[in-house]
Amino acid sequence: MATSSRTTTTTPHDDTYNSPTAKATLVKNVPSTCLNLRFGHHELPEPGQYERVELRDGRAVCPRELSKIVQEAIAEAQRIADSEIEQYVLNGNDDSLGLITHEDEEELIAPAVEKVTIRPAMDSGAVANVLHPKDLPADAEPQPNRTGKHFVGANNARIEKFGSCETVLESHLGAVGCNWQLADVARPLHSVSVVTGPIDGPGKQDVLFNNKCGFVVPPGVVAEIMKRVKPIMEYPRDGNLYTCEVEMSAFRRQGQDA
């Protein structure tokens, strides 16, 4: 496993940086019936702390009813994704879909490569997928930084950017491509804004979190859910970051002197 001896982690922050999203695999000569990006088999989390959840139409429902509504939203998003992918293949497009999909094992013909184990963190505060060069496998082919631009951390400190490198990431869900920006960071970070894609257009993928896990799912899932559920907080995208503007005041308990 590739590890780091550095003890501090600073999130890259550079709103002017325009990094490509993780490469998608090419889908060629595959029957449309095989292009099913199923993710509805995951069980929804147990009901949380809210006894009633407000919907967009003003109704308040219990967690069990909410689970059914979310399942319906996921099914609708899946139907749309299936239809779009099927039409894409039937139209004879050979370009990448722009989705994170499984590699076709029969098309992967390559010599043995060195593999290292890393644990990237999904970070909405990072504007790029970043990795320290020492965490790369020995046979990786990094490209130097020819722009002279570097990252800026949350504390406004400069984070040196060394270059970039394309890699393949494998997990129990399959293999995906990932283009890293090589920087002086203590741990690998995956950028939510890179994974989801440019702010203009339909997006590449959606990212979902709960208190137990995060998921990358086909685009449109979040939009379908939010058509039905009223959010508690919202963080609109601003450049490559997700931020919100709120008014803050001191919290005072009932009966406490002003």
What confidence score (pLDDT) does residue 51 get?
65
- pLDDT tens digit string along 75-88? 887 777 777 666 65
Contacts 24+ apart (CB under 8 A), 87-90: 88/27, 89/27, 89/30, 89/32, 89/35, 90/32
Percentage with pLDDT > 90 across the chain: 48
Mean pLDDT, rounded, for 34-48: 40
Task: With CA atoms as reference, report the closest residue to 11 among 167, 183, 194, 177.
Answer: 183
- pLDDT exceeds 60 at position 15: no
What confidence score (pLDDT) does residue 66 get?
76
- pLDDT exceeds 60 at position 199: yes
What confidence score (pLDDT) does residue 87 get?
64
- pLDDT tens digit string along 163-198? 999 999 999 999 999 999 999 999 999 999 999 999
The residue with greater pLDDT, 251 or 22, is 251
What confidence score (pLDDT) does residue 54 get?
72
The residue with greater pLDDT, 176 or 22, is 176
- pLDDT exceeds 70 at position 60: yes
Mean pLDDT, rounded, for 5-22: 41
Do β-strands 151-152 and 158-159 pair in parallel, antiparallel, or remain unpaired? antiparallel
Return the domain boundaries, the chain: 32-242
The residue with greater pLDDT, 95 or 113, is 113
Query: Residue 92 — pLDDT band, cuts 50, 70, 90?
Result: low
What confidence score (pLDDT) does residue 12 get?
57
Mean pLDDT, rounded, for 140-155: 92
Which H, E and C letters describe the chain, residue by residue? CCCCCCCCCCCCECCCCCCCCCCCCCCCCCCHHHCCCCCCCCCCCCCCCCCCEEECCCCEECHHHHHHHHHHHHHHHHHHHHHHHHHHHHCCCCCCCCCCCCCCHHHCCCCCCCCCCCCCEEECCCCCCEECHHHCCCCCCCEECCCCCCEECCCCCEECEEEEEEEEEEECCEEEEEEEEEECCCCCEEEHHHHHCCCCCCCCCEEEECCCCEEEECCCHHHHHHCCECCCCCCCEECCEECCCCCCCCCCCCCCCC
Whether the pTM exceeds 0.85: the reply is: no
Average confidence score pLDDT of the chain: 75
**Residues across the chain:** 258
According to CATH, the superfamily of the domain at 32-242 is Acid Proteases (2.40.70.10)
- pLDDT exceeds 50 at position 44: no
What confidence score (pLDDT) does residue 38 get?
35
What confidence score (pLDDT) does residue 32 get?
32
Q: Encoding tokens for residue 151?
A: 């990252």
